[in-house]
Structure 1
Amino acid sequence: MTRKTPSKLILSLSLLACFSTCTCHSSANDEGAGIKGLFVFGSSLVDSGNNNFLQDSMAKADYLPYGIDFPLGATGRFTNGKNVIDLLGDHLKLPSLIPVFADPSTKGSKIVHGVNYASGGSGILDDTGLIAGHVISLSQQIRNFEKVTLPDLEAQLERRSRVVLPKYLFVVGTGGNDYSFNYFLGKSDSNVSLQAFTANLTASLSQKLMKLFNLGARRFVLMSVNPLGCSPSVMLNQQISRNGCVQGLNRAAHLFNTHLKSLVDVLKSEMPGSTFVYVNSYKIIRDIIRNPISKGFKDASRSCCEVASMNEGGNGILCKRGGRACAERSSHVFFDGLHPTEAVNAQIASKAYESNLKTEVYPTNIKNLVNSRVL
């Protein structure tokens, strides 16, 4: 319960805080609660429509029932409404949605609050996602940021990128496809153990994060891999364990997440002046699945939308084009065969922003991250 304080006193305290820390901003909308915007990298969980512009990609969500609850309709977000990035933007009070890089209009003044480079089907490794046709690898996403966005951003803000980039959050959500569409499909060397593959995957991601750091990034949000073995598309075709999920896939996701969390501590020392938040969306979703009623959900195992099967020319994951969607979408954990509903995304974003549990966010939450000082 908050204590009411006279408005003049609030103003005086606010001014005092600004002068003492030298971080006073002209408006909340201008800086987004301490930051200016988001640069987003990763796969379909954070893709807001880049794949719409890839003609030969099969990993698209630019059709109904995707976006059935989104104000702009089917925009390429792999869910019924907002994805985690949209919802984080709401928490951060950003003035607009983050535009996608592949849209030709994403330039000039449209990029000052960030850009989304994520591509559904992509992974940390360059060869991940080839099964889905054309996807934008994480390496290419970072090149797009470096070669195209940075010069434009410097021109727009009339300042060097290394000066302005600490005011942005760099959100990275990737890794799951490297298991689902690479390792477990036998795309990598079959003699490589899961442990060795994961170590290589983590090392590759570390190099890419270091690249962003060298370009000027200082505030990072790393999203864990979700519980892959609990997705409806997997459970339809695999031997399910006693707790309702395919443990082989979950074990791989958990192993990667353990490495990713450890990477936060390692990179903190290797990247002077940087700050990190590891968001354990694996645990957040797993907790919902284990006890859905207590979290406000009714169905934690079935897809909300009608999924296109292999026999129908689909992949058993994505919604059927123009297919049916369940009426109570907010009570479902999964919208299609893999991706969470907006209701789940809202819980992930909320916990990422303000949870005080280190099992959910480590070592702190995003709210604290955006208010921290960087060098």
Structure 2
Amino acid sequence: MEAKIKLWLVLSLLLAANCMQHYCVHAEALVPCLFAFGDSLTDCGNNNNRATLGRANFIPYGIDFPQGPTGRFTNGRTSFDFISELLGFQKFIPPHADTSGSDILKGVNYASGGAGIRPESGMGDNIDLENQVSNHRAIFSEISEKLGGSENATEYLNKCLYYVNIGTNDYLFNYFFFPIYLTRLFYTPQQYADTLLVRLFKYIQELHDDFGARKFVVVGVADIGCIPATTHQTNGSCVEEMSDAVSIYNDKLKSRVDQFNNHSSTHSKSIFVPSLDRSIIPDFPVANAPCCPTPCLPNRTPCQNRSNYMFWDETHPSEAANRITAQRSSNDIMRLVQSSIQTTTP
């Protein structure tokens, strides 16, 4: 039996590698559904009709995406899109704002550009994490109705994967957005990280306790000290103060994920995966300038060699960078899914 499990894992990883290069249109998904919570790094259209400048449903955004501009804040696929392909989903997970007629039993993407863990973080009209979880509560009710009750819905959702990628705006458009926000006057970087994590895991615990979520992929905060929006002010150098604060948060996040695993239910498992950081800079000929000129407005002409650029605009990674970010977490995600199959198979 152990040999068979190892063989299955090897074959799954080979399939995963192939899926990262090509669309997996025939493979059966390795989990029944996939839910995403986050900000513009994961948003796929939830902000399209909101009263905010934080929208990306226009060209040149989506210039390399199969369906064109959808509200994704990049030229093509997000890291979450690549992960959904890795897991064998035949269609991209739909935004919550456009679930009418969608098969919500396959999952929903609640992410909103500009959103933060704290409700005041970000800019414009966005859906903060608390409201994203509230939206999931409504979807849970719909799933319960479809499956004949909340117990059946909970049992079904036990097998699904929950992807949480949020926190960047709590630093970029809150802690380091002085003097618009005065947060830095009241919290050291260590204290601020702690306050964010208390709130974040409050919502993760709610997903676990109220909706049956058992498998979480929790993504670290991106290295905002090295994005073009900050490096253009320092002649291309990373802003170490910002990078250090994010590093403190990510180190604490890893520890909190471990604590959550130790104190949650037997079949619950969470993993930490890193977000965009300077470790992938050597993979790109252009790592300190955006492909789409700043500001990336409708019908702007982007660079032609987009795969050479780490950043699509001044704050968001390119599809090429998103692919690398997803690839380097693929082994951990596959192990998480494989452990789920082992614990649920009779």
CA, structure 1 residues 342+136, in 2 after alignment: closer, same or farther (shift >3 Å)? same
Determine helix, strand or coil for the equivalent of 1:221: strand
Preserved CA contact (<8 Å) 1:128 1:182: yes
Task: Please state how far the C-alpha of 1:29 moved relative to its aligned partner.
Answer: 6.4
Determine helix, strand or coil for the equivalent of 2:97: coil
Preserved CA contact (<8 Å) 1:239 1:246: no
Determine helix, strand or coil for the equivalent of 2:271: strand
Corresponding residue for residue 231 of structure 2: 235
Corresponding residue for residue 85 of structure 1: 80
**Equivalent residue letter for 2:129:** L
* Deviations 1:217-243 (CA, angstroms, capped at 9, x unpaired): 000001111110110111112476xxx
Determine helix, strand or coil for the equivalent of 1:60: coil
Structure 1 unaligned runs (5+)? 1-12, 18-27, 309-318, 355-364
**Equivalent residue letter for 1:59:** G
Q: Distance in 2 between matches of 1:109 and 1:236?
A: 42
TM-score by length of 2: 0.86
CA, structure 1 residues 109+71, in 2 after alignment: closer, same or farther (shift >3 Å)? closer
2:56 corresponds to 1:61: yes
Task: Please state how far the C-alpha of 1:36 moved relative to its aligned partner.
Answer: 1.0
Corresponding residue for residue 32 of structure 1: 29
Q: Distance in 2 between matches of 1:109 and 1:81?
A: 22
2:292 corresponds to 1:305: yes
Q: Distance in 2 between matches of 1:337 and 1:268?
A: 36
Corresponding residue for residue 279 of structure 1: 273
CA, structure 1 residues 29+172, in 2 after alignment: closer, same or farther (shift >3 Å)? farther
Segments ≥4 residues shifted beyond 3 Å: 28-31
Corresponding residue for residue 42 of structure 1: 38
* Deviations 1:306-339 (CA, angstroms, capped at 9, x unpaired): 112xxxxxxxxxx122111000000100000011
Preserved CA contact (<8 Å) 2:33 2:157: no
Q: Distance in 1 between matches of 2:217 and 2:26?
A: 20
Task: Please state how far the C-alpha of 1:188 moved relative to its aligned partner.
Answer: 4.3
**Equivalent residue letter for 2:300:** G
2:91 corresponds to 1:96: yes
Determine helix, strand or coil for the equivalent of 1:102: helix
Corresponding residue for residue 366 of structure 1: 333
Q: Distance in 2 between matches of 1:177 and 1:328?
A: 29
Q: Distance in 1 between matches of 2:212 and 2:339?
A: 16
Determine helix, strand or coil for the equivalent of 1:115: coil
Q: Distance in 2 between matches of 1:368 and 1:107?
A: 33
Q: Distance in 1 between matches of 2:130 and 2:325?
A: 26
2:208 corresponds to 1:213: yes
CA, structure 1 residues 333+216, in 2 after alignment: closer, same or farther (shift >3 Å)? same
Match of residue 105, structure 2, among 94, 108, 112? 112
CA, structure 1 residues 109+236, in 2 after alignment: closer, same or farther (shift >3 Å)? closer
Determine helix, strand or coil for the equivalent of 2:89: coil
Corresponding residue for residue 15 of structure 2: none
Preserved CA contact (<8 Å) 1:108 1:153: no
Preserved CA contact (<8 Å) 2:94 2:102: no
**Whose RCO is larger (CA < 8 A, sep 6+)?**
2
Corresponding residue for residue 246 of structure 2: 253
2:329 corresponds to 1:352: yes
Q: Distance in 1 between matches of 2:182 and 2:148?
A: 45
Corresponding residue for residue 340 of structure 1: 317
Task: Please state how far the C-alpha of 1:108 moved relative to its aligned partner.
Answer: 5.5
TM-score by length of 1: 0.80
Aligned-pair identity in percent equals 37
Determine helix, strand or coil for the equivalent of 2:72: coil
Task: Please state how far the C-alpha of 1:286 moved relative to its aligned partner.
Answer: 1.4
Match of residue 70, structure 1, among 53, 65, 72? 65
Corresponding residue for residue 259 of structure 2: 266
Task: Please state how far the C-alpha of 1:166 moved relative to its aligned partner.
Answer: 1.6
Preserved CA contact (<8 Å) 2:75 2:319: yes
Task: Please state how far the C-alpha of 1:162 moved relative to its aligned partner.
Answer: 1.2
Q: Distance in 2 between matches of 1:258 and 1:29?
A: 39
Q: Distance in 2 between matches of 1:196 and 1:202?
A: 10
2:183 corresponds to 1:191: no
Q: Distance in 2 between matches of 1:344 and 1:216?
A: 33
Match of residue 161, structure 2, among 143, 146, 169? 169
Corresponding residue for residue 152 of structure 1: 142
CA, structure 1 residues 261+226, in 2 after alignment: closer, same or farther (shift >3 Å)? same
Task: Please state how far the C-alpha of 1:30 moved relative to its aligned partner.
Answer: 8.2
Determine helix, strand or coil for the equivalent of 1:164: helix
Task: Please state how far the C-alpha of 1:274 moved relative to its aligned partner.
Answer: 1.0
Task: Please state how far the C-alpha of 1:344 moved relative to its aligned partner.
Answer: 0.9
Alignment coverage as a number of residue pairs: 314
Q: Distance in 1 between matches of 2:83 and 2:244?
A: 28
Preserved CA contact (<8 Å) 1:108 1:156: no
Task: Please state how far the C-alpha of 1:109 moved relative to its aligned partner.
Answer: 5.0
- Root-mean-square deviation (Å): 1.9
**Equivalent residue letter for 1:281:** S
Q: Distance in 1 between matches of 2:48 and 2:53?
A: 10
Map residues 16-27 of structure 1 onto 2, 5 A cutoff. none
